[in-house]
Amino acid sequence: MNRVLWSSFFVLSLVIAAPAIASDLTIPNSFTAGTPAVAAEVNANFTAVESAVDDNDSRITALGSGKVSISGDTMTGVLTVPSIAYSSPRTHYFAISGDSFLPRVNTVDYACGYGNGGCRINMTTVERLTATANLPHGSLITGFTIHLYDNDSSNDLDAYIFQQFFSTGYMQLGNTVTSTSASTTTQALPAVVSPARQVNNNTGSIVISVGPASGSTWTLGSANLLIRGVTIAYTISEAE
């Protein structure tokens, strides 16, 4: 009978040997041929085997459901998966230099690339500058900050972001921000987009527009009004 028990135990050990890498198995008792086995020791061995099998079963079930939770492990080689989803959306930031802006009307004279960066229209006009933000498809725009330089006591700049549709029309995202007072310090003007707007690169693009506020104008030869740059906050739910 002892030989039967030991043979059964040996076969069961072979069965779980393949997944042992997932769950280590330690046998508490060993036996010598021809020596009677104590039932309690045999039962302890089977209990250890049962625990290891149950643990491996749980891991295999988790793999089958597509939800694997592993912490502290390091992988080498190539990992191939359909997608990597974050447990919660991650916030990223997209920056545009002021030097990237161009006039909406190509006959308008403009100047970019001053010592501290920035762009302006070099005419007495109310025409506007625009730039495009190439954000990931499906991301959600949650807010933005416009960086304006306004050292003009008589004129101010305003700026806003909109979604330009390829078919026709556009939709403004968030509120319009406006520079105030004359200062040699660049003004960082934030705005919240609520509800967050999803980027759809199949139907349109994201555009930033900067120009004179109501009652204001650009001034020929003046560098007192500049767009220095834009920072757009957006979230994504899975790795790009």
Q: What integer pLDDT is reported at residue 28 of this predicted model?
A: 85
Whether the per-residue pLDDT at 67 is higher than 60: the answer is no
Give the pairing of strands 110-112 and 140-150. unpaired
Main-chain dihedrals φ then ψ at residue 219, nearest 5 degrees: -125, 130
pLDDT band of 64, cuts 50, 70, 90: low
The CA-atom distances, in angstroms, between 24 and each of 47, 59, 123 are 14, 13, 76
| Strand partners of residue 234 | 92, 141
What is the distance between the terminal CA atoms of the chain, rounded to a whole angstrom?
61
Cα–Cα distance, 51 to 179 (Å, whole number): 68
Whether the per-residue pLDDT at 23 is higher than 70: the answer is no
Whether the per-residue pLDDT at 76 is higher than 60: the answer is yes
Q: What is the pLDDT of residues 114-147, one digit of tens each?
A: 778 899 999 999 999 999 999 999 999 999 999 9
CB atoms within 10 A of CB 72: 4
Structure tokens at 58: 């749980």
Using an 8 Å Cβ cutoff, are 132 and 204 in contact?
no
Q: What integer pLDDT is reported at residue 220 of this predicted model?
A: 94
Q: What integer pLDDT is reported at residue 75 of this predicted model?
A: 74
Among 11-20, 23-32, 63-72, 180-189, the range of highest mean pLDDT:
180-189
Classify the C-alpha dihedral 152-153-154-155 as positive or negative. Answer: positive
Instruction: Kindly tell me the burial class for residue 22, based on how many C-beta atoms sit within 10 Å of its own C-beta (0-12, 13-18, 19 or more).
Output: middle
The more confidently predicted of residues 94 and 42 is: 94
- Please report the DSSP string for 192-203 in residue order: EEEEEEE--TTT
Whether the per-residue pLDDT at 62 is higher than 80: the answer is no
Q: Where are the beta strands (DSSP E) in 59-186?
A: 85-97, 102-103, 110-112, 119-121, 129-133, 140-150, 157-165, 170-178
Structure tokens at 93: 């930031």
Q: What integer pLDDT is reported at residue 113 of this predicted model?
A: 84
Mean predicted confidence (pLDDT) in 147-153: 97
Q: What is the pLDDT of residues 194-230, one digit of tens each?
A: 999 999 999 999 999 999 999 999 999 999 999 999 9
Q: What integer pLDDT is reported at residue 69 of this predicted model?
A: 60
Q: Which residues contact 71 (CB under 8 A, 6 or more apart)?
A: none
- For all residues of the chain together, what is the average pLDDT? 86
Main-chain dihedrals φ then ψ at residue 69, nearest 5 degrees: -120, 105
